[in-house]
Structure 1
Amino acid sequence: HGAAGSPRGRAMLADPAGAVRELADLTGNAWHALLEPDWPRLRTLLEADIAYRARQLAEGGLERLFADLHPGVTWSAGTLTIRTRFREVMTQKLSGRGVLLMPSVFVWPDVVSGFAPPWQPTVIYPARGVGGLWQRPTPDAAGALVRLLGANRAAILTGLDEPASTKDLAERHELAPSSVSAHLSTLRDAGLLTARRAGARVLYERTALGVALLAGEAASG
């Protein structure tokens, strides 16, 4: 009977506007308690994935984009096929409707899709580097990172748990802004950092490759 089958459900059906407000408040509470403390790190990983997918699309079209999106996702002649780990197979001919791709840190190792109208076809897939998201380098790995990058660049990369500007990093590491700027350029050229403008500031963030390197892993692709 759905919501009407319980007293709580009937109360919500009797006051739809109040139910919407309550659900919005509860959703906000869940965000603040469960996601907000870790959002800078999560956002960095998700935005790095989006940037990588955009490059794949620009350089090789849809074929390259879908080639390493997820093992369960294939694209051929305008048809999108999704195979889940529960052996469910869904095939959709998009016919010009487009598809919304959403990286997630919560769906690994599976892929989630939704094609029911009137919503835009959507595929939710694991973001690149999610396996190393919460790992910290071991002492041996940290030493190897210093040997690979140099002490200052390793410290900057390791300390970027949330986006930061050149000025922020110079103050944090007690380095000259010009030195930090040079280190950031090197790390960005190596694909370990990405930069984005936020108002008058330029903020630097780790890419999925940077996250994987800190975890002592090699990023795929």
Structure 2
Amino acid sequence: MAIMLRFGPADLLRCRFAVSPMLETLSAVRLLSPREGVGPHQRWLDTIDTRELDLRPIALLQPRRGYTPDFLSPPPAGPHTRFEDELAALAATDHDRVRAEVRRSLADNPGAAGSATGRLLLGEPALVLQTLVSLVEHVWRVLVEPVWPQVRGLLDADVGFQTRRLAEGGLDRLFAELHPRLRWNNGVLTREYGGDERRDLRGEGLVLVPSAFKWDQVVVIVDQPWQPTVIYPARGLGALWQPLSADRHRALGRLIGRTRTVLLLGLDEPASTTTLAHRHALAAGTVSEHLSVLRDAGFVAGERHRHEIRYRRTPLGEAVLRRNDSSGRPRP
């Protein structure tokens, strides 16, 4: 199962990058679901207070497996898109479209339409839209806007890095290491796992959107009104909430080295060498070398998953981090 996008000569000239504050806001809401893995975002989650937010309408329209209304996240115009502009585009959505896309989304979420929130969302489209616009704006103010400078810095750094790779070696160089789930071969970009679709771009080109909060997925959008789009986790995400220089794990960093400490901290969930390299903005060879040292020391172990090796912390690695959490320095 894979999604394949075939490029023609005109598509090679119509590839661009964009950033979407609205997409980050909706993705942040997803992370609050107990069904979602939080990955590198636990520190951010520990700082937020959602008691004044009723997230049920947005959560219900974002099924884990299924359709999320396209109108909730308008296509970003470019790398400098403002939240206010996206919110205005959301507020201007045609009411018939609101009705149709809400119904489609609820149909993909078993039992959702019969819930109190589902019945509310199936009501008068103008009122539903007004409710969603107000809620999305409130969510942005509470969850994302306070940390937007950090998140925006990460996204801008990714766009800058990927743009340089594109300038240096074209799409071959760009897609070679954009994300471990993406493969580029003979003019075809393939997203592995999930979905099964073949699409000739036919001159539409491709929009590439880095994301901080959609940390574990590569999403491909080919439905109108979007230009064909790939949303991928931003490079260097593993360091977003972990400024090690001001962290209580500094002592561990002095003991085993900063990079190995960052890698060990980042293994809250099993990950492959290529995933860790992308997440921490390191060369794959560098990550492999450090993982070998951590493995030999008994801090991590590797397990085969399909065609790759995924590393996890061992009980010893967990114990080392717990000891540093409790004392601020490693114990003998």
TM-score per shorter chain, which class?
Answer: 0.5 to 0.7
Residue in structure 1 matched with residue 202 of structure 2 by the alignment: 95
Post-superposition shift, 1:106?
2.1
Aligned residue in 2 for 1:205: none
Inter-partner Cα distance in structure 1 for 2:171 and 2:235: 18
**C-alpha displacement at 1:42, in angstroms?**
0.4
Match of 1:128 among 214, 229, 235: 235
Match of 2:144 in 1: 35
TM-superposed CA distance for 1:13, in Å, is: 4.0
8 A Cα contact 2:236 2:281, kept in partner: no
Q: Distance in 1 between matches of 2:186 and 2:226?
A: 22
| 1:80 paired to 2:178 | no
Q: 1:106 to 1:14 in 2, by over 3 A?
A: closer
Distance 1:8 1:109 in 2: 28
CA shift at 1:34, angstroms?
0.9
Over aligned residue pairs, what C-alpha RMSD do you find? 3.2
Question: Which aligned pairs between 1:39-188 and structure 2 lie closer than 5 A?
Answer: 39-84=148-193, 90-137=197-244, 138-139=249-250
Cα distance in structure 2, aligned partners of 1:126 and 1:116: 21
Q: CA deviation at 1:10?
A: 4.6
C-alpha spacing 1:25/1:60, structure 2 compared with 1 (3 Å): same
For 2:130, the equivalent position in structure 1 comes to 21
**For 1:65, what is the secondary structure of its paired residue?**
helix
Is residue 56–residue 65 contact of structure 1 (8 Å, CA) maintained in 2? yes
CA contact (8 A) 1:111 1:125 kept: yes
With the length of structure 2 as denominator, give the TM-score of the two structures: 0.39
Shift of 1:95: 2.4
Distance 1:39 1:29, change over 3 A: same
Q: Partners of 1:30 and 1:13 in 2: how far apart? A: 21
**What is the identity, as a one-letter code, of the residue corresponding to 1:77?**
N
Match of 2:283 in 1: 220
CA-CA distance at 1:111 after TM superposition: 1.4
**1:4 to partner: Cα distance:** 6.0
Higher RCO structure (Cα 8 Å, ≥6 apart): 2
Could you tell me which amino acid in structure 2 is paired with residue 132 of structure 1? Answer: A
- Contact 1:107–1:126 under 8 Å retained in 2: yes
Indicate conservation of the 8 Å contact 2:235/2:281, yes or no: no
Return closer, same or farther for 1:83/1:91 CA change in 2, 3 Å cut-off.
farther
Going from structure 1 to structure 2, the CA distance change for 1:67 and 1:99 (only over 3 Å counts) comes to same
Structure 2: tracts of 5 or more residues without a match: 1-102, 107-111, 255-276, 285-332
User: What TM-score does the superposition give when structure 1 sets the normalisation length?
Assistant: 0.57
Q: Can you list the C-alpha shifts for 1:89-143, whole angstroms capped at 9, x where unaligned?
A: 654332221111111112333312122344221111111110111112244559x
Q: Tell me, what secondary structure is at the counterpart of 2:231?
A: strand
Tell me: CA distance 1:96–1:36, structure 2 relative to 1, closer, same or farther (3 Å). Answer: same
Q: Is the 8 A contact 1:79 1:93 kept in 2?
A: no
CA displacement 1:30-86 (0-9 Å, x = unmatched): 1111111111000000000001111111111111110110111122333221013x6
1:2-13 counterparts in 2 under 5 A? 2=106, 5-6=114-115, 8-13=117-122
**Distance change in 2, residues 1:62/1:32 (3 Å):** same
Amino acid in structure 2 at the alignment position of 1:69: L
